[in-house]
Structure 1
Amino acid sequence: MAATAEAAISVPRSRRRASKRDPVLVSAVAGLALLVAALLVGPWLWRHNPDSVDLATQLAPPSPAHPLGTDDLGRDMLARVLSGARTSLGAGLIVVAAGAVLGCVTGLLAGALGGYVDTVLTWLTNSILCFPAIMLAMAFVMALKPGITAVVIGLSIHSFPWYMRTLRGEVLRISSLDFVKSTDAIGATRTRILTRHILPHLVSTIVLQMAAVFGASVLSLAALGFLGMGAQPPTAELGAMITGGQQFFLTGQWWMAAFPGLVLLIAVTLTTVIADRARELLDPRGEYVAAD
């Protein structure tokens, strides 16, 4: 039984060792770590209030005093980009965490219990996936009120079916392996089998799904902010900042939309690269499901 279990996990271990030698994956992880560090340390180094209005310096181009320029109200763009990125990426992390918790619980229950539980949960997740993520989030915004909270709730509910569908299939696959059947035959409880023999083998799958959901969530948050349904003024948020700067882009004040868009592009690109490279290294069966 031990040999069978070791054989079942030998490929993921070898893939994890290979991931440490993958230059693209290592570079993407390092870049994302630097971005997160800049967002965390930036406010301590650049002590400008992102909401401080100064009409005397409105629409000032990038300069030593304001490295990323100012917006139409004279607010420092560097301070607002740092604050907006923390808002967008922080909300994306909340969506990832909430979706992962709901998805893991429902995926384990559906795969382990089967029967009516599996049928009901599968029907529920399929019903949720009938709606695009942005449309579902917009419904919560209209039901509650415009703001980041309503958007996060809607995107979290839309994200958990991706975890559930993937983990349900993995639970069924692992349950059919000999070492799990042997554990069941000697009288181990279903809870013990799930927590000790199935769940540890799902870690790489969960991490892959989290990376994909994060990138999709940040883009959806930015899109809803662009439509005015995300964070409300004066709170800085990348999508809302791009919306506010687009009217000035063609009149020469390109920095108002360009810098928030650049940070958004870098964050989503890095997470997408990490998800794709990690999938190739850690999921040789190709059963990973990408979130839309």
Structure 2
Amino acid sequence: MTTLTRPKRVLARRSVDGQLVLALVMIAGFVVIAVVGLFMQTQANTVNVADSLQPPSAEHLFGTDAQGRSVALRVAVGSGIAIVSATVAVLVGGALGLIVAIACGLGPRWLDAVLMRLADSVLAFPQLLLALAVTMALGTGLITANIGIIVTVVPVFARTLRAEALRSRNEPFVEAARTIGLSLPRIAVRHVTPYLSTTLIVQMAANFGNVVLILAGLSFIGVGAQPPTAEWGAMITDGLQNALTGQWWIGVAPGLALVLLVIAVNLLTDQLRHRFGARQRMS
């Protein structure tokens, strides 16, 4: 039996490592593209009517749009917008969700009940619709779209981390800290937060791709990034206006970049869950 199972385990381990390397390479590629786009924003927004609607070529890798702007440069700029916006949203949302979860885990029962009812009320709405409502209430734009997204992800983190926070209440290290008289804020920062860090990291990775999609969706319907900002969702909207006349590349390039980034993040999330889950089983 052992001689039959060992090759399977080796193959599974190699496939896991291969997926991790693929995910890291893809994400690193997007980061490099985003850095390049950071220094090419002026060129990406430069209008050149003489080169409008040029198909993909050696000069313009992904062609040009109706204003003669390079689609490749605008995709690169959009990569930076997507990565920075999603990173800010998951960091801020994760931090706020962590605070709520620790308050539920270490605080009184009534506080846990109140906070979770509020979280459940927010989770009752689809994330895209709630983000749309918040964005429209605050005014259209990329910053307000990010605020709307943060509002939707905070209860997701809070609900996920709450179970771990409640479990930490009965852990020996928390009981020992209480016995020696440590304050609740110190217990939360020095003991409970590291205890929840693994789950928090996995949840941040898991929500990253979803945030990218929501941001693109808000810009796609016109309440997120506004022209001439090179955001993927807004670019896809521009591409739809020219798709029927044969200029397919304007919307396909940002759409393909969006799909590849989400796939890369999902692959990384699966590997994080696998590796952290294996460590927890070993411990």
Task: Output the TM-score relative to the length of structure 2.
Answer: 0.87
Residue 38 of structure 2 contacts residue 80 of structure 2 at CA under 8 Å; is this kept in 1? no
Gaps of 5+ in 1: 1-17, 287-292
Residue correspondence of structure 1 range 74-153 to structure 2 within 5 A: 74-153=68-147
Structure 1 residues 48 and 61 mapped into 2: Cα distance closer, same or farther (>3 Å)?
Answer: farther
1:39 equivalent in structure 2: 34
Structure 1 residues 43 and 112 mapped into 2: Cα distance closer, same or farther (>3 Å)?
Answer: closer
Amino acid at match of 2:120: N
Three-state SS of the structure 2 residue aligned to 1:65 is coil
Structure 1 residues 225 and 177 mapped into 2: Cα distance closer, same or farther (>3 Å)?
Answer: same
2:178 equivalent in structure 1: 184
Shift of 1:144: 2.2
2:167 equivalent in structure 1: 173
Shift of 1:47: 7.8
Residue 92 of structure 1 contacts residue 218 of structure 1 at CA under 8 Å; is this kept in 2? yes
Q: Of the candidates 240, 248, 261, which is equivalent to residue 254 of structure 1?
A: 248
Shift of 1:249: 2.4
Moved over 6 A (4+): none
Cα distance in 1 for partners of 2:155, 2:269 equals 18
Three-state SS of the structure 2 residue aligned to 1:201 is helix
Structure 1 residues 141 and 108 mapped into 2: Cα distance closer, same or farther (>3 Å)?
Answer: same
Three-state SS of the structure 1 residue aligned to 2:125 is coil
Shift of 1:98: 1.5
Shift of 1:74: 0.7
Residue correspondence of structure 1 range 46-61 to structure 2 within 5 A: 49-61=43-55
Structure 1 residues 190 and 141 mapped into 2: Cα distance closer, same or farther (>3 Å)?
Answer: closer
Q: Of the candidates 266, 269, 278, which is equivalent to residue 272 of structure 1?
A: 266
- What per-residue deviation string (whole Å, max 9, x for no partner) do you get for residues 40-59 of structure 1? 03454x68611111111110
Shift of 1:270: 0.7
Three-state SS of the structure 1 residue aligned to 2:44 is coil
Cα distance in 1 for partners of 2:278, 2:157 equals 18
Cα distance in 2 for partners of 1:29, 1:231 equals 28
Cα distance in 2 for partners of 1:43, 1:131 equals 35
Three-state SS of the structure 2 residue aligned to 1:168 is helix
Q: CA RMSD in A?
A: 2.2
Task: Output the TM-score relative to the length of structure 1.
Answer: 0.85
1:66 equivalent in structure 2: 60
Q: Of the candidates 182, 188, 195, which is equivalent to residue 194 of structure 1?
A: 188
1:24 equivalent in structure 2: 19
Shift of 1:116: 1.8
Cα distance in 2 for partners of 1:283, 1:227 equals 39
Q: Of the candidates 216, 237, 246, which is equivalent to residue 243 of structure 1?
A: 237
Residue 220 of structure 2 contacts residue 236 of structure 2 at CA under 8 Å; is this kept in 1? yes
- What per-residue deviation string (whole Å, max 9, x for no partner) do you get for residues 155-193 of structure 1? 101101111112211111122223332333343333333
Cα distance in 2 for partners of 1:242, 1:41 equals 21
How much identity, in percent, do the aligned residues show?
40
Amino acid at match of 1:27: L
Three-state SS of the structure 1 residue aligned to 2:43 is coil
Cα distance in 1 for partners of 2:279, 2:18 equals 22
Cα distance in 2 for partners of 1:151, 1:48 equals 23
Residue 133 of structure 1 contacts residue 154 of structure 1 at CA under 8 Å; is this kept in 2? no
Cα distance in 1 for partners of 2:94, 2:252 equals 32
Aligned residues: 267
Shift of 1:221: 0.8
- What per-residue deviation string (whole Å, max 9, x for no partner) do you get for residues 26-66 of structure 1? 3212220121122103454x686111111111100112221
Cα distance in 2 for partners of 1:284, 1:165 equals 23
Cα distance in 2 for partners of 1:204, 1:185 equals 26
Residue 137 of structure 1 contacts residue 150 of structure 1 at CA under 8 Å; is this kept in 2? no
Cα distance in 1 for partners of 2:41, 2:267 equals 32
